[in-house]
Structure 1
Amino acid sequence: MRVHAYAADEAGGRLRAHEYEAEPLGHNEVDVRVTHCGVCHTDVGMIDDEFGVSRYPVVAGHEAVGIVAAVGDAVDQDLLPIGQRVGVGATAGSCFRCQWCMSGRHNLCPHKDNMVLRGDRGGFADHVRASDWRFVCPLPDAISSADAAPLLCAGSTVFNPLVDNDVRPIDRVAVVGIGGLGHLAVQFLAKWGCAVTAISTTPDKEQDARRFGATDFIATSEEGALREAANSFDFVLSTVSADLPWDDYLGVLRPRGTLCVVGVPPGPIAAATMSLLPEEKRIAGGVTASPTRNRQMLEFAARHGITAAVETFPISDVEQALDRVRRGAARYRVVLEL
């Protein structure tokens, strides 16, 4: 089968039409005919070789939504029938042998099928392959395909830490950055039952943040804003890809509070010892979830009407879509329609 995709041949290069011959379907593999694919900042980073790991040609895309077109002979079609609407997210398979897989943490498998590292086998294409059917998520009817795409990475990234860090409905929480990740985090936490404070550099996004469910707002450009919030939160989720004054953010935590970082700051995360030790505070990391938790995330989103705010572009306008993401201009996620 010939797959028709859009690839970059060099760092920062424009995308061109690209074709490759798909290998024969493996026993556990699923072929998905793509109808929508989200555009994540990581996709732009791979096209631009921002992380120094790109292998060209690069076909980006790891938030793919579409229809099951074919399955391997080991796939139970009662569970994943041909024609089922599904999503294939950041992780499309794992080894199912290591201690992380055996404990249900497939997302931490050192041999996982990481979609962003595949080279020319990404989701900006008419077909995408999941290396294991257990990573293919049937989509709830209540969530449209365009809305579902960003949930497969951005939604998973912000939902997973809520469970991992035992965030409770009685907790006071804050979300740093109201962007592609942050606008979903605010919605999840608000529906979780928490009192949510949105934190952004300027007041520009306050109205949007409150619409997403924030009960309070902090603009860090205002003098002393973080100091006034000292000892306020049980959990702070940082979704920004920027270096922050880490001691100041630890300072807004209550005793035993957690600062969880899911954005990718360019520099090291450094904090004073006394910002952590006396009140048993923690700094934690977060990544996209396991297959089971991704299904739970989608069910939770469907139940509570949580959707990404999306801008859709036909695949023919992919360069315009990428430009929106590069400039941080999207409000709040970009989705390609194939």
Structure 2
Amino acid sequence: MTQAYAVERPGGPVQVLEYEPAPLGPLEVEVAVTHCGVCHTDVGMIDDEWGVSAFPVVAGHEAIGVVTALGDAVDRTRLSVGQRVGVGATAGACFACEWCLDGRQHLCPHKDNTAVRGTGGGFASHVRASDWRYAHPIPDVIPSAQAGPLLCAGTTVFTPLLRHGVRPTDHVAVVGVGGLGHLAIQFLAKWGCHVTAVSSSPGKESDARRLGAHDFVVAGEGEGLRRVANAFDFVLSTVSADLPWDAYLETLRPHGTLCVVGMSGESLTLDPRRLLTGERSVAGGVTGPPAQIRLMLDFVARHGIRPAVETFPVARMEEALDHVRHGRARYRAVLEF
């Protein structure tokens, strides 16, 4: 029997939902959840922010726990009952389409998105990976409370470094010192880059520098972005807000890339002349494929990178959701089951 924490209506109260899960499929892995991160996407699904939620909703897509059962076709040289693993924003893919066969399973049109599963999310006693390759072993040195956010926020900001060939010699900027940005700063600093944090909150400078930023720019104040015009090879925007995109394009050097991983409800409007001048690029980013998620976990373990988390017992789930809903988390909220 699975005990899940569901909401029956947009923004509604959390209620316990018990159900008998279907028989385990041949490729599936069942995980008893010990910790699960609370992402803004979870709150968005609970509040039906994007008009796609099907209620009841059991959110949660940053689950860490222990394997309790394996399907008949699972590779038992890779996974075993009792092993600590994580199930992230994607829990499976078809492994047959052109994207999967090319190693880009994160682009699979048939992938299993844990974040929008309905009643199959990680705010529950148990969660399943629909394919064993998405049950990620967690390195021993990473505590479970800090591992969950790596499976969404972590891979979202790590994957673009690989995809866009960011080099240790590059000058880079991270826009936003929040749930995504505080991890991006750590990754890029350990990557060897010169890192500038950009934020509208002057009070976050000390955090940004402690995380590894070499410079700090307050957007919208004084010289602001003008001080760093033509300064960066790569700019990673992690905020969920509309920005003066032309101003950010002008911070790029020739052939520089602006990569947007924060989700905003606004249209992205650009002056094409700022793209053509210097042959700059704009790109989007999502969570990475399994191989890159495991590279990320190895990188985190080797370099001592850690999400900053605030933990809540599952009995205080409403408080945790409200904490994230109002942007008070510094910098990720995590439920303990």
Using the size of structure 2 for normalisation, the TM-score is 0.99
2:59 is aligned to: 60
1:225 is aligned to: 224
Shift in Å, 1:223: 2.1
Distance 2:265 2:199 in 1: 18
2:256 is aligned to: 257
Map 1:156-175 → 2, pairs under 5 A: 156-175=155-174
1:179 is aligned to: 178
2:114 is aligned to: 115
- Whether 1:143 and 2:165 are equivalent positions in the alignment is no
* More off after superposition, 288-297 vs 222-231: 222-231
Matched residue type, 1:109: C
Distance 1:205 1:167 in 2: 25
Matched residue type, 1:336: L
Shift in Å, 1:224: 2.3
Distance 1:214 1:250 in 2: 20
* SS of residue matched to 1:81: coil
Distance 1:221 1:279 in 2: 24
Give ranges in structure 1 of 5+ residues lacking alignment: none
* SS of residue matched to 1:69: strand
Check the 8 A contact 1:259/1:282 in 2, yes or no: yes
Give ranges in structure 2 of 5+ residues lacking alignment: none
Shift in Å, 1:78: 2.3
Matched residue type, 1:19: E
Matched residue type, 1:211: R
Distance 2:93 2:78 in 1: 19
2:42 is aligned to: 43
1:90 is aligned to: 89
1:291 is aligned to: 290
* 1:123-175 C-alpha deviation (Å, 9 max, x unpaired): 00000011000111000001000010000000000000010010000000000
- Whether 1:76 and 2:75 are equivalent positions in the alignment is yes
Map 1:208-287 → 2, pairs under 5 A: 208-287=207-286
Shift in Å, 1:90: 0.4
1:319 is aligned to: 318
* More off after superposition, 87-96 vs 218-227: 218-227
Aligned length: 337
Distance 1:207 1:273 in 2: 36
* SS of residue matched to 1:149: helix
Shift in Å, 1:202: 2.3
Distance 2:70 2:138 in 1: 17
Distance 1:62 1:220 in 2: 31
Check the 8 A contact 1:235/1:260 in 2, yes or no: yes
Matched residue type, 1:95: C
Map 1:95-106 → 2, pairs under 5 A: 95-106=94-105
Distance 1:315 1:68 in 2: 20
Check the 8 A contact 1:202/1:221 in 2, yes or no: no
Map 1:10-21 → 2, pairs under 5 A: 10-21=9-20
2:191 is aligned to: 192
* SS of residue matched to 2:236: strand
Matched residue type, 2:41: T
* SS of residue matched to 1:92: strand
Distance 1:87 1:220 in 2: 36
RMSD, aligned α-carbons: 0.6
Shift in Å, 1:76: 2.1
* 1:222-266 C-alpha deviation (Å, 9 max, x unpaired): 122111210000000000000000000000000010000000111
Distance 1:36 1:314 in 2: 9
* SS of residue matched to 1:158: helix
* More off after superposition, 162-171 vs 14-23: 14-23
Check the 8 A contact 1:142/1:302 in 2, yes or no: yes
* SS of residue matched to 1:97: coil
Distance 1:202 1:306 in 2: 23
Matched residue type, 2:117: R
Distance 1:202 1:106 in 2: 36
- Whether 1:125 and 2:145 are equivalent positions in the alignment is no
1:29 is aligned to: 28
* SS of residue matched to 2:197: strand
Matched residue type, 1:219: V
Distance 1:77 1:239 in 2: 37
Shift in Å, 1:51: 1.0
Shift in Å, 1:117: 1.4
Shift in Å, 1:221: 3.1
Distance 2:201 2:124 in 1: 37
4+ residue runs over 6 A deviation: none
